[in-house]
Structure 1
Amino acid sequence: MGDDQSGFDEMVDAIDYPMFVVTAHADGRRAGCLVGFASQTSIDPRRFLVGISKRNQTHDIAEQAEYLAVHLLPRERTDIAALFGAHSGYDTDKFTRCAWSEGPHGLPILDDAAFWFVGKTVRRFDAGDHDAFLLDPVDSGSRVSAPGAQSWVTFSDVHDLDAGRDA
């Protein structure tokens, strides 16, 4: 076995990961970004991990925040995914361009999300060019009646976006 990582790159390129929008609120500031590095990591206790780029304004605010909100968007809302993925919070107030309401712990909750949950950060650690935030879900909401009948924004829906900031 050598150092050839092309098989790994091909495998992760083939996976059509769901995309999430993560929002944060701390010290009177709010931010949000599109994330593709996210997954449930435990059933008992419930845990969910999100990776946020260290170059992202959301990262700066998430470092100060005790709670984060994670949103799953229905496929027809790729415009919201593009807003949070193709614009930097350093340059654009994304929340003036979408519908949202204040949720638990002062977090912005996107009105167009099919599902959302708020998680308390129980651990944060270096994961390369991203930091990983391990969340304990403490509150949640849904705006769909038949979740299996919908499709979600996935990587293939947003792969052509120019990121607001490079990782």
Structure 2
Amino acid sequence: MDAQAKKTALRGITYGLYVIGTKVGDDVNAFTGNWVTQTSFEPPLVAIGVKKDTTSYEGIRESGVFSVNVLESGQKDLAFSFFKPVSRVGNKFGDVEFYTSTTGSPILKDALYWFECKVTDTVDRGDHALVVGEVVDAGVHREGDPLTLKETGLFYGG
């Protein structure tokens, strides 16, 4: 296999950037992810990819819930702020305000849209796990165009 062709082909997969959250007890956590896709209409299922050696993955496994916050085009800095651990104080991650709804997972006040899921399945392979969740709640803060990885100048895959 041509290694460069493989890298170029895999980087052709389109990705959004999302802030994915979870909670364990009273503690909430969030991270930037880009492996999110809908896998079923009825019931409404989505799948996310989560790096296995992280606090977030442990939180999702323990709580069985997660939220997905769809960011708006231009919110690159917001996405980047969740690439590394962010201190939580009250209802803020740093300067980013959030609230909770059905599952208790964090919903960012500045996200375009959000949805919450209860985990139904996990496929544990490689350095990431594929987590499937049933959508149990959703909301729209405003209309807009979602942020994509291409807009950030970053590449994933390969």
Q: TM-score range by the shorter chain?
A: 0.7 to 0.9
The question of 1:153 aligning with 2:130 is answered: no
Bigger Cα displacement from structure 2, 8-17 vs 118-127: 8-17
Unaligned runs of 5+ in 2: none
Identity %: 22
Q: Give me the whole-angstrom Cα distance separating, in 2, the residues matched to 1:63 and 1:26.
A: 9
RMSD, aligned α-carbons: 2.0
In the TM superposition, what is the alpha-carbon distance from 1:44 to its structure 2 partner?
Answer: 2.4
8 Å contact 2:103–2:117 — kept in the other structure? no
Unaligned runs of 5+ in 1: 162-167
> Helix, strand or coil for the counterpart of 1:106?
coil
TM-score of the two chains, using structure 2 as the length reference? 0.85
1:14-61 CA-to-partner distances (Å, cap 9, x unmatched) read 333111111000122211111111111122222100001113221121
> Which residue does 2:29 correspond to in 1?
31
Amino acid paired to 1:88: P
Specify which of 94, 105, 108 is matched with residue 107 of structure 1: 105
- Aligned residue pairs total 152
| Structure 2 counterparts to residues 67-106 of structure 1, below 5 A | 67-85=65-83, 87-89=84-86, 92-93=87-88, 95-106=93-104
> Helix, strand or coil for the counterpart of 1:61?
helix
In the TM superposition, what is the alpha-carbon distance from 1:5 to its structure 2 partner?
Answer: 4.8
Q: Give me the whole-angstrom Cα distance separating, in 1, the residues matched to 2:23 and 2:109.
A: 17
The structure in which a higher percent of residues are strand is 2
Q: Give me the whole-angstrom Cα distance separating, in 1, the residues matched to 2:150 and 2:109.
A: 23
8 Å contact 1:67–1:121 — kept in the other structure? yes
The question of 1:52 aligning with 2:50 is answered: yes
| Structure 2 counterparts to residues 3-14 of structure 1, below 5 A | 3-14=1-12
Q: Give me the whole-angstrom Cα distance separating, in 1, the residues matched to 2:7 and 2:42.
A: 31
The structure in which a higher percent of residues are helix is 1
Report the CA distance shift for 1:75/1:38 in structure 2 as closer, same or farther (over 3 A).
same
